[in-house]
Amino acid sequence: MDDGRFVSRTEAEATTLAEALRRYLSDITPTKKPTTAYREGVIGRRLGNHPLAHRVLARIRGKDVADYVRERQGDGAGANTIRLELALLSHLFNTARTAWGLESLTKPVDLVKGQRPRLPQGRAGAWWTTSKPASWRPLRPMTRPPHAGGNVGPLITWAVETVMRRGEIAPMRWEHVDRKARVLLIPETKNGTPRRVPLSTVALGVLDGLPRRIDGRALPPEGVVWGLRVASISQAFERVCAAAGIDGLTFHDLRHEVAPWFFEKGLNPMQVAAITGHKTLQMLKRYTI
Residues taking part in catalysis = 165, 190, 252, 255, 278, 287
**Is residue 198 within 8 Å of 138, Cβ to Cβ?**
no
The number of C-alpha atoms within 13 Å of 39 and in the hemisphere containing its C-beta is 17
> Among 94, 123, 153, 135, which Cα is nearest to 252's?
123
Of 139, 97, 110, 111, whose CA–CA distance to 11 is shortest? 97
Contact present, 47 and 94 (Cβ < 8 Å)? no
Cβ–Cβ < 8 Å for 203, 191: no
Residue type for 127, please? W
Identify which of 35, 30, 46, 83 has the alpha carbon closest to the alpha carbon of residue 234. Answer: 35
User: Measured in Å, how far apart are the chain's first and last C-alpha atoms?
Assistant: 58
Instruction: Look up residue 166 and give its amino acid.
Output: R
3-state secondary structure of 204: helix
Alpha helix stretches (DSSP H) within the chain:
17-27, 34-48, 62-74, 79-98, 152-162, 166-169, 201-209, 230-243, 253-264, 269-276, 281-288
